[in-house]
Each structure stands twice: as structure tokens, then as C-alpha cells.
Amino acid sequence: TEIRIPASVIQPLKALSSRSGATLYMTLLSAFKVLLHRYSGQEDIGVGSPVANRSRTELEDIIGFFVNTLVLRTEVTSDLPFSALLERVRATVLEAQAHQECPFERLVEALTPHRDPGRNPLFQVFFSLQNPPMELRLPGLRVEALPVRNGTAKFDLFFELWESEGGVLGRIERSTDIFEAETVERMARHYVRLLESIAADPATPVSRLRLLSREERRAVLEDLNPSPVDGVGQRTVCELLDAQAARSPDAPAVLWNARALSYRELSSRADQLARFLRKQGVGRDGRVGIFLERGVELITGIAGILKSGAAYVPLDPQYPPERTAYILEDAGVELVLTQASLASRLKPGTRAVSLDTGWEEIGREDAAPLDAGASLDDLAYVLYTSGSTGKPKGVAMPHGPLANLLEWQLGTSRAGSGTRTLQFTSVCFDVSFQEIFSTLCSGGALVLISEAARRDPRELLRVLREERVERLFLPFVALKHLAEAAVESGAYPEALSEVITAGEQLKVSSSVRAFFARLPGSVLWNHYGPTETHVVTAYELRGDPEKWPALPPIGKPITNARAHVLDRSLEPVPIGVPGEVYLGGRVLARGYHGQPEMTTARFMADPFAPETGKRMYRTGDRARFLPSGDIEYLGRADDQVKIRG
């Protein structure tokens, strides 16, 4: 890959070098370190560079190889002005050159770094700036310079530059095991773009030096995100559920313990509960707690709350009483739906209704839908995540983003009329909404499972096989344990055709490969999205599991979702460069219930939205765009461990 830096850029850089008491080499090296910092996100940047090692006058006329290698190590921070970085690099280079006679091999012996036979010790990237080529004249001899083709790369990356009449030329040598050709071509363009930014204003902080051209910036912002699709997600989950009940009233909606609840029965019970809740003073945007064990009452309860126009606030029976009490108070819960065996765990004075012992009264209500149900702007649920401060925080999600999600899910999933989906996920986790209602809004059957069976991989495997489950939502750890149990026992859930993972990094382990190899035609989806946005990107794995990547990407944005990978200055980074993920489009929660300051800090104005007044969510996740347009997840920017979204 060639590099061409025009004289119009080199001349101001030479002037900068002169003003700084530096050389052009030091300035170009500093820019190279900025490039590595921006591409890697690392601050401790070590680069190898050659030195002639002819500091003594008696060596000047001797033919021989005296070149030594210097390791030039510099701390590069994002808020550091480039001019200050140049001072650091200048000091480092001068100090290293003062010790240039120390052989590189001696340095390696003294430091004893970790050795890898396939990599160079102490540094893996190399940078050099050569003097302009000069014709070599020897008496009585004709001398010709011949290019040397190595055939192999000496380093992971080697930037070799030389001065010419038209500026500076160069080439990049790469390790083909590490770098694709197009990646290095982008690096060459971005290096020149950096130099142009430096030439224009050397005082610019490292993080604000431009890497992208205008066209690249437009492509990263627009081409990597789908255009908005009008008309999608215009019906609430309640409308979708009613429509499905009208299409297949006698089909099984919920299956448990060899029993079935039809769509007609589910819809009628939910409508009766909705009317009952209205009579209790619960209305649109109200909050109703749901404190139930796994069972049909749980599904009926959630559907009834949504049909009343209120939002549900899930409470796990496994929670400590203090957490349950905190959530009830923080969310402003008006009423709790529970069961007789759990009611005593609620704080005294809590307004509660037991769906098992109290259904006789609820069942007297009219089984027709309410005239005025929830709108797309009304609240659907408040889910509490762990919270970085130790206090749980409630994510307030309206119907609009969920309607958009459901329509996308119904259009991409294999699930349809009669498809059996296991209700695996805790209702305190946002995936449960997607799991339950993408099933019930498509005519499928929701198969319930006990908490004990859910937590035991062997029991889970048994349920999947006996119930002929076709679709399964679960986090990677549960998938891994299920796959191990299946491989160990030799028993596989052969009806399973679609598995969706979310909530944590998907890793295609050997057991996962073996599991899907025994389920030909089945697909594995990797979904990504924090609780504050629900699912935003998706990646599908199909075909031969042996060809699946060990760490699959999280995919491309779904319909009406936008994903941006930005640097610390909220500028888009190039393809292949790590940054922080920001999410926008029709996917955002309102914010954190009762916490306006925290909401403002995480839900900020979206400068890239096609319309003004839109917001984007700062995830705290690190990622990068791949050339395919898929996003590769790289972990948390703040080293937090994600729990419950």
C-alpha cells in the first residue's frame, strides 16, 4: 500500500518541526503514534524505528551494516494537544538516540519480555523516514539499486517513508495474518488526513484531529444505518394481540403442565383484568407491580396490565425484601398483582390483589376490550437494572419502541402460527417482552417452564425435547450449559430451529458448535441492546457451525434503529476503529424513572438524526464497525459487568 503526502502538507509540517526544535521525522512519527492511538484506543504506544548508529566520525566512510533498532515509547492521551505530544516524542527520540549504541538484542535480554515466536519483542509496529535516494557513484563501477522483495512481513505493520521532490512518499508493509489489505489502505488515507489536520492547527487535541474525509464521514453515519421506514411499529402490543386472538381464537396460546389456554381465553382473561384494574383507579401511564411465580397468571397479568393502559413493574420472588420494597416505592407502584403464597412477603400496607384467590371477583368483569387502551406514547413497563451506584434504576419504556421491535421480530423470525416458544427468560429482563409477545402476536404457543427446570440444564433439555420446542431465547451462559448437557447425554432437542441469545457476549464454544451441528437447518441469532433501548442490532448464524466465528459480531441495526460508534469528541470513527456505542432511532426508553439528572447524562441530543429534537443513548459499550457493516462488540468502556441488561 502506497502513501503520498503532498508538499502542501509537508511544508507546514516542516515549519512546525522547526518552531518546535524538532525534525520532520519526529513530527511524522508523532502523527503515526496518534494514528495507532486512535485505531487501538491504547495510550502506551511503543514503536520500533531504525537508527544509523554511525555517531562516531571514524565510521562515516566504512561500508557495513551498523543499523540498530530503537524502541520509542510514548504516552498518548486524547486530551493532549498535538504540539505537546510532539514535545514528548522529541524528548523520547533524543534520549533514545543518546543511547543508540546499546544493541537492541541486549535490551531484550535485559528486559526479558514475554516472547512469542511469531512476533517481535517489545514492539510490533515499525516506522522509518529515509533521506531522499541519492545516486551512488564509485570509481570504475556502475551501481544500480535493486528492489528487495521479502515475501514475508518483518513486523505486524511497517510504515516506511522517504522524502521526495513532491513531498513525502511511502509504503506500508503488513502482516497478512493480522491486517486485511483494505484496512491498511484506510490507515494510509487516515494518516494523510491526520497530517492535514495537524498542518492546519497543531494545537488541536489528539482526539479532535480529523481522520475521516467528508465522504467517509457521511458513509459511516448514513450508509451503515438503515433509512427510517414509515408505517412500521404503528400498532401497540395490545392491538396486535387482539388481532391475533381474532384470527385464531381456538389455537393454544399458553401451554403448561399438559394444559392449554386458548387465544380466546387469554384475551378474555386479560380484558377482564384490565377492566378490574381500571375500577381500582389504575389508568394510562400508571404502574402496576407484578409479583408472581412462573405460570399462566404471570402471562395473563402482564397482558391485562398492558390492556388497562398501565405499565407493569416486574418483581422477582427471588429478590430480597429490601430490593422489592425499594422498587415499589421508587416506581410509585399503585397496586401489586401477586398470589396467595407470596402476598405475605410484601411490605405491610402494600395494596395487592392475588390473582389465584381473587379471580372470582375479577372474572365477573366484562370480557370485551376497553375502548381507550394504551397509545404508542404511553408507558409499557418499568424494568429495574442493577445500577452503577448500587441503587437499582428503573428504565421507563413506552409502547412505541416495543411496537417497532415486535414488527421487526415478526418479519425476521421463523416463528409463526403454531410455533412453540419456551418462556425461559425472567420477566425482570427485557428479552422476556420480546419472547412472550413475539410469540403471542404471531399465533405461536408459549410453553411455560418451572423455575427449577429452567435452572437445571438437564431438566431444560428434557422440557425442550418433550414439549417439542421450536424457538428458544436465552443468554449465552445458559446456551453453553444446555449444549454441554446435550453433548454429554447424546440427546438433542431436534424440533429446535431458532435460538436467540442476548444480554452478554456470545461465544461459539466447541460444545455450541457440536450442539448446532446436530440441529441441521437451525439458526442462532445474536441480539444486542441494553435495557434502555431493547434490541437494536442482530446477527444471524446459519450453515456449518464449524465456520462460525468464535466471537460473532452483534450485527447490523434493526428497522428504525441507528447505531453510531463515536470517539470522545462525539465524532464518528472510521470502519475498524474502536469507539463507544451510541444508539438512536425509534428504540429509546423515556429515561430513568424519577431520575432526570441521570436521564439527561445518558440520553443526550442526537446530532446525527435526520430530524431535530431527537435523542441518542450513550451505552458505555466499546465496539467497532466491520467492513461488512456489522458491529463487533469489544466490551465495556468503563469495565463494568452488565447484570440484567
Give the cell for residue 628. 461488512
pLDDT band with cut points at 50, 70 and 90 for residue 372: confident
The amino acid occupying position 215 is E
Mean pLDDT of 5-25: 96
State the burial class of residue 320 (Cβ atoms within 10 Å of its Cβ: 0-12, 13-18, 19+). Answer: exposed
pLDDT tens per residue, range 380-435:
999 999 755 568 999 999 999 999 999 999 999 888 899 999 999 999 999 999 99
The span from the first CA to the last CA of the chain, in angstroms, equals: 43
- The pTM of the full predicted model, rounded to 2 decimals, is 0.88
Query: Is residue 456 situated within a structural domain?
Result: no
Query: Is residue 86 situated within a structural domain?
Result: yes
Query: Is residue 11 situated within a structural domain?
Result: yes
pLDDT tens per residue, range 27-75:
999 999 999 999 888 899 999 888 765 565 655 665 545 466 888 899 9
Helix or strand (DSSP H, E) at 394: strand 393-398
Domain hosting 174: range is 2-133+145-211
pLDDT tens per residue, range 166-196:
799 999 998 888 888 899 999 999 999 999 9
pLDDT tens per residue, range 310-330:
999 999 999 999 999 999 999
Classify strands 615-625 and 579-585 as parallel, antiparallel or unpaired: antiparallel
Query: Is residue 176 situated within a structural domain?
Result: yes
The phi, psi pair for 257, rounded to 5°, reads: 50, 50
The answer to whether residues 431 and 425 touch, using CB atoms and an 8 Å cutoff, is yes
The answer to whether residues 422 and 447 touch, using CB atoms and an 8 Å cutoff, is yes
CATH number at residue 205: 3.30.559.30
Query: Is residue 185 situated within a structural domain?
Result: yes
**C-alpha to C-alpha distance for 599 and 597, rounded to whole angstroms:** 5
Query: Is residue 261 situated within a structural domain?
Result: no
pLDDT tens per residue, range 586-628:
999 999 999 999 999 999 999 999 888 999 999 999 999 999 9
Query: Is residue 320 situated within a structural domain?
Result: no
Give the cell for residue 517. 451441528
**C-alpha to C-alpha distance for 467 and 478, rounded to whole angstroms:** 19
Domains in the chain: how many in total? Answer: 1
Query: Is residue 510 situated within a structural domain?
Result: no
- Nearest 5°: CA angle at 256, between 275 and 237? 40
